[in-house]
Amino acid sequence: MNVKEIAIFHVLLCVTFIVSGLAVNLIQFILYVALRQINPQLFRKLNYYLVYTIYGQLLFLIDWWGPATLNIHCAPDLLDRFATEHAVILMNHHYELDWLYGWMVGDRSGVLGNCRVYGKKVLKYVPVVGWAWNMSDVIFLDRNWEKDKLNLSSKLNELLDYPTPVWILLYPEGTRFSEEKHQASQEFAVSRGLPVLKHHLIPRTKGFSFTVSELDKSRISRLYDVTLVAGTSPTSAPPTLTSILCGRSTEASMYIREYQLKDIPTTDEGSSQWLMNLFKEKDALKDSFLQTGCFSELSGFPKYPPIQRQSRPWSLLISITLNSCVIIPLIYILLTGGIITRLVLVLMLGLAWFAMRKFINITKISKSSSYGAKKSTTSSDDKKKE
């Protein structure tokens, strides 16, 4: 048995994440109160490392504990520009680990602590990650467009004031892919005369259009589209959180394309059409990879050799240090403490196990949504024939 599959190790990693994360939240809060209004740039510089301390423990799981292989296909000079300026990143949301694969690229580009997303407002109340986001200019949405567009308008360009590059990560599909959502999306496309996508949901264009129109093009000039496929290699474990917690290696491939923001229409109709065309191309890229193992073979897009960037050591050092600082004292207290102390520790471990299982269940995708296997390429028309 792989020792990484033993549940107690997962629980201990979770305990360290919670304890250290709450400590980071406290430091963030103190700095937020002391510096945010007086010297916002200094706060942002310091906060970068605090956010990275939290992210680094999750990145450790996919970099070192259950090490993943990530093949990046892009123009030869693209990665050299990737981390030099602010950028908008478009990603598909099809796997339990797609956010972690995105973090791998962000970390190797040196911008992980400045990756920002649009999140549901309820997330700001979640300890550790949610609290960290709430003090880091993450944009929380009410799902009420009249409120949301005012919030977006005021917050978007604040991110561009950061002293180091910021990535604004957007998931235009708006929700994670599942077979049920895909079927509903295809039916919606047919009813509205939109393209029927084989591997993606119809993108939600309103937020994207508003973002493109609001961003100051003099301070942000590039948009990158990422098409991700994971778990198709015979040697890859399913791209799930359970896989990496158990130390199983996964494999993913992504195709990255670069666009100038100034070339994207700023009208609602123009930017919506641009995004729909982009998703037709993403669909062709993913379909080509699922059928041939190559993004370009059937799609007609340029073929690039895969690039694999080595893991940086920081997530490993952060995890070793924090786990040593938390677990060694816990073991000492467990061995030397009284019965009450031991019961409290056991209760704490039980709560950590419950929190971990809750998090895993939240990230799970229904088994009916395949991990990119070729069976997912079956079109809705084929299913009807069956």
The pLDDT tens digits of the residues spanning 96-115 come to 899 999 999 999 999 999 99
* Cβ neighbourhood burial of 289 (10 Å; 0-12, 13-18, 19+): buried
- Residue 383's CB: how many other CB atoms inside 10 A? 10
The tens digit of pLDDT for each residue in 253-276 reads: 999 999 999 999 989 899 999 999
**CATH assignment at residue 213:** 3.40.1130
What pLDDT score does 199 carry?
93
pLDDT value at position 1?
A: 62
Confidence of residue 289 (pLDDT cuts 50, 70, 90): very high
pLDDT at 362: 66
The confidence score (pLDDT) of residue 277 equals 95
Neighbours of 15 (CB within 10 A): 22
In this structure, which amino acid lies at residue 238? P
To the nearest whole percent, how much of the chain has pLDDT over 70? Answer: 93
**Is the residue at 362 inside a domain?**
no
Residues in the chain, how many? 386
Name the more confident of 147 and 222: 222
Residue of 360 and 244 predicted with greater confidence? 244
Question: What's the half-sphere exposure (Cβ side, CA atoms, 13 Å) at 91?
Answer: 27
Residue 38 forms part of a structural domain: no
What is the arithmetic mean of pLDDT over 334-363?
A: 81
pLDDT digits (tens, 9 = 90+) for 291-300: 999 999 999 9
What is the Cα–Cα distance from 29 to 356, expressed in whole angstroms?
Answer: 25
Q: How far is CA 28 from the centre of its chain?
A: 22
Number of domains in the chain: 1
Determine how many CB atoms are found less than 10 A away from the CB of residue 181.
Answer: 16
Considering the domain boundaries, does residue 90 fall inside one? yes
Least confident of 152-166, 237-251, 270-284, 347-361: 347-361
Q: What confidence tier does 349 reach under pLDDT thresholds 50, 70, 90?
A: confident
Q: Residue 22, Cβ neighbours under 10 Å: how many?
A: 12
Rounded CA separation 158/31 (Å) = 18
* 328: in domain: no
pLDDT value at residue 207? 87
Taking every pair of Cα atoms in the chain, the longest distance, rounded to a whole number of angstroms, is 70
CA-CA-CA-CA torsion sign (185, 186, 191, 194)? positive
360 falls within a domain: no
pLDDT at 383 over 60: no
pLDDT of residue 155: 85
The mean of the pLDDT values for the chain is 88
Task: Report the relative pairing of strands 139-141 and 115-120 from DSSP bridges.
Answer: parallel
Q: Which two tokens stand for residue 328?
A: 């060694």
CA distances from 46 to 28, 36, 164, 317 (A): 9, 11, 12, 19
Within a domain: residue 6? no
User: What Å distances lie between residue 281 and 93, 179, 203, 288, 298, CA to CA?
Assistant: 16, 20, 13, 11, 11
Residue type, 318: I
Kindly state whether residue 212 falls inside one of the protein's structural domains.
yes
The number of beta carbons lying within 10 Å of the beta carbon of residue 361 is: 9
Per-residue pLDDT, averaged over 189-207, amounts to 91
CA atoms of 226 and 230, how far apart (whole Å): 13
Say if CB 299 and CB 288 are below 8 A apart: yes
**Residue 385 confidence (pLDDT) above 50:** no
- Average the pLDDT over each of 51-60, 219-228, 340-349 and give the range with the smallest value: 340-349
pLDDT of residue 369: 41
Q: Quote the domain boundaries for residue 290.
A: 68-313
pLDDT tens across 111-151, in order?
Answer: 999 999 888 888 899 899 999 999 999 989 887 888 888 88
Cβ–Cβ < 8 Å for 136, 40? no
Q: Is the dihedral of CA 93, 95, 97, 103 positive or negative?
A: negative
The pLDDT of residue 357 is above 90: no
Q: Which strand (E) or helix (H) includes residue 224?
A: strand 222-230
- Segment of 25-34, 75-84, 171-180 carrying the highest mean pLDDT: 25-34
Q: Is residue 382 part of a domain?
A: no
